[in-house]
């Protein structure tokens, strides 16, 4: 699985090659390097902390700037998407959130916040936003379990549909499809395009 530093290097290479398009609706401009975002710690699986300084970009057409997070990060979260994903999967399997927190070494208030926000996302149309043809798997009445099942289905479809994202884990894919906003305060987190997860 790609490391955070590798993911940051991939973003940098794509940016310098002019492969990243502006996300402002109707702009169609190309992003260019424009300094960096704030360096921040990111806790990875196993409790390993890594310092990450995401790249900032500016649109050559409209002048809007944005921070480009690698697929290993979510907006406003100090834990990597794999850590958060492990907590959500454990909770969907019926493990109490206090035990989930103890098992992955995260404060229980933090895990409780993740679960509340992700469950709200599932109830407010997460499946509609991430999947072109959302279908709740049979027997998945719980919004949390249903959303996780759909993410698993999307991940299984990726290699055939978009080989460029085939190396992403299910949680990196969720981070990319939600543009890092899976647990951000605002929902939806801007334009989500599951038909083209490579841009």
Cβ pair 179, 23 in contact under 8 A: yes
Considering the chain, what percentage of its residues have pLDDT values greater than 90?
28
Confidence of residue 197 (pLDDT cuts 50, 70, 90): very low
Closest among 110, 113, 158 to 132, alpha carbons compared: 158
Q: How close are the terminal C-alpha atoms of the chain, in Å?
A: 20
Joined tokens for residue 168: 């992403």
Who's near 180: CB < 8 A, 6+ residues apart? Answer: 69, 73, 74, 75, 189
Which pLDDT value is given to residue 114? 92
pLDDT, tens digit (0-9, with 9 covering 90-100), for 161-186: 777 677 888 888 888 878 888 888 76
Supply the pTM of this predicted model.
0.78
Confidence of residue 196 (pLDDT cuts 50, 70, 90): very low
DSSP labels for 35-89? EE---EEEEPGGG-EEEE--EEEEETTT--EEEE--TT--TT-SB-HHHHHHHHH
Which pLDDT value is given to residue 81? 93
**Exposure pattern of 150-179 as b/e (b: 16+ CB <10 Å)?**
bbeebbeebeeebeebeebbbbbbbbbbbb
Task: Give CA separation, 111 vs 27, 91, 182, in Å.
Answer: 38, 10, 14
Point out which residues pair with 40 in neighbouring strands: 52
Which pLDDT value is given to residue 8? 75
Q: What is the rounded average pLDDT of the residues 33-46?
A: 91
Is the model more confident about 142 or about 70? 70
Task: Cite the DSSP H helix spans in the chain.
Answer: 4-16, 81-92, 97-104, 108-123, 126-130, 143-161, 170-177
Confidence of residue 194 (pLDDT cuts 50, 70, 90): very low
């Amino acid at each position: 699985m790609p490391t955070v530093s590798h993911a940051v290097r991939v973003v940098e290479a794509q940016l310098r090659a002019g492969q990243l398009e502006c996300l402002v609706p109707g702009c169609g401009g190309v992003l260019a390097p424009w300094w960096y975002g704030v360096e921040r710690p990111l806790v990875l699986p196993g409790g390993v902390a890594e310092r990450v300084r995401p790249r900032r970009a500016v649109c050559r057409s409209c002048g809007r700037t944005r921070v480009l997070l690698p697929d290993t990060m979510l907006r406003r979260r100090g834990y990597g998407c794999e850590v958060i994903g492990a907590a959500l999967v454990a909770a969907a399997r019926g493990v109490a959130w206090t035990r989930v927190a103890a098992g992955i070494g995260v404060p229980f208030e933090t895990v409780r916040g993740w679960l509340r926000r992700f469950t709200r996302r599932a109830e407010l149309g997460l499946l509609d936003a991430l999947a072109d043809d959302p279908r709740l798997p049979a027997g998945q009445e719980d919004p949390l379990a249903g959303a996780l099942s759909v993410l698993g289905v999307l991940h299984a479809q990726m290699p055939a549909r978009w080989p460029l994202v085939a190396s992403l884990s299910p949680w990196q894919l969720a981070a990319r499809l939600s543009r890092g906003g899976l647990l951000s305060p605002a929902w939806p987190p801007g334009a989500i395009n599951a038909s083209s997860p490579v841009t």
